[in-house]
Structure 1
Amino acid sequence: MSAETDPLTAAVGTDTGETPILRAEAVEVAFSSGVGPGGGRGTARAVDGVDLDVAAGEIVALVGESGCGKTTLARTLLGLERPTGGRVLFEGAPLSHRSRDLRDYRRRVQLVQQDPMGSLNPRRTVYESVVEGLRIHEGTTVDEYERVARALSRAGLRPPERFLSRYPHELSGGQRQRVVIAGALILDPEVLVADEPVASLDASVRGEILRLMLELRENLGLSALVATHDLGLAWNIADRVAVMYLGRVVEVGTVEEVLSAPEHPYTRALLSVLPDSGVEEGPVVLGGEPPDPKRVPTGCRFHPRCPVLASGEAERAGVADMCTSVDPEVLAGGPGHRTACHWAARVGGPESPRTVEGPMSS
Structure 2
Amino acid sequence: MTTAQEPGGTLLSAADLHIAFPGRRGAPTARAVDGVDLDIRAGEIVALVGESGCGKTTLARSLLGLVPPTSGRVTFAGEPLDYAGRALKAYRKRVQLVLQDPSGSLNPRHTVYDAVAEGLRIHGYAGDERAAVAEALSRAGLRPPERFFLRYPHELSGGQRQRVVIAGALVLEPELIVADEPVASLDASVRGEILALLLRLREELGLSALVVTHDLGLAWNIADRVAVMYLGRIVETGTVEEVLTSPRHPYTQALLSVLPEAPGDPVVLSGEPPDPSRIPGGCRFHVRCQVLASGEAQRAGVADHCRKVDLPLLSGGGETQVACHWAVAGGTP
Same fold (TM over 0.5): yes
1:92 deviation in Å?
A: 1.3
Structure 2 counterpart of 1:241: 226
Structure 1 counterpart of 2:327: 344
Task: Give the TM-score normalised by structure 2.
Answer: 0.96
Structure 2 counterpart of 1:109: 95
Structure 1: state its 5+ residue gaps.
1-10, 350-362
Q: What SS does structure 1 have at the residue aligned with 2:22? A: strand
Structure 1 counterpart of 2:196: 211
Distance (Å, rounded) in 2 between the aligned partners of 1:84 and 1:332: 19
Structure 1 counterpart of 2:258: 273
Distance (Å, rounded) in 2 between the aligned partners of 1:22 and 1:117: 29
Cα deviation, 1:257-305, whole Å, max 9, x if unaligned, reads: 1100000000000001112335xx5310000122110000000000000
Task: Give the TM-score normalised by structure 1.
Answer: 0.88
Cα deviation, 1:228-261, whole Å, max 9, x if unaligned, reads: 0011110000000000001100000000011000
Structure 1 counterpart of 2:60: 74
* 2:131 is the counterpart of 1:146: yes
Structure 2 counterpart of 1:226: 211
Structure 2 counterpart of 1:25: 15
1:324 deviation in Å?
A: 0.4
**1:1-362 correspondence to structure 2 within 5 Å:** 13=8, 18=9, 20-35=10-25, 42-139=28-125, 141-278=126-263, 281-347=264-330
Identity value in percent = 72
1:196 deviation in Å?
A: 0.4
Q: What SS does structure 2 have at the residue aligned with 1:68? A: coil
Q: What SS does structure 2 have at the residue aligned with 1:21? A: strand
1:42 deviation in Å?
A: 1.6
- The alignment's C-alpha RMSD in Å is 1.3
Distance (Å, rounded) in 2 between the aligned partners of 1:151 and 1:348: 49
Q: What SS does structure 1 have at the residue aligned with 2:119? A: helix
Distance (Å, rounded) in 2 between the aligned partners of 1:272 and 1:232: 11
Distance (Å, rounded) in 1 between the aligned partners of 2:145 and 2:27: 53
1:337 deviation in Å?
A: 0.7
Distance (Å, rounded) in 1 between the aligned partners of 2:255 and 2:62: 25
Amino acid at match of 1:146: A
Amino acid at match of 1:50: V
Distance (Å, rounded) in 1 between the aligned partners of 2:7 and 2:218: 19
Distance (Å, rounded) in 1 between the aligned partners of 2:140 and 2:304: 52
Q: What SS does structure 2 have at the residue aligned with 1:297? A: coil
Amino acid at match of 2:53: G
Amino acid at match of 2:162: Q
Q: Aligned pair in 2 of structure 1 residues 156, 314: CA closer, same or farther (>3 Å)?
A: same
1:55 deviation in Å?
A: 0.3
Q: What SS does structure 1 have at the residue aligned with 2:277? A: coil
1:12 deviation in Å?
A: 5.9
Amino acid at match of 1:195: D
1:142 deviation in Å?
A: 4.6
Q: What SS does structure 1 have at the residue aligned with 2:29? A: strand
Structure 2: state its 5+ residue gaps.
1-5
Distance (Å, rounded) in 1 between the aligned partners of 2:194 and 2:13: 25
Distance (Å, rounded) in 2 between the aligned partners of 1:137 and 1:289: 45
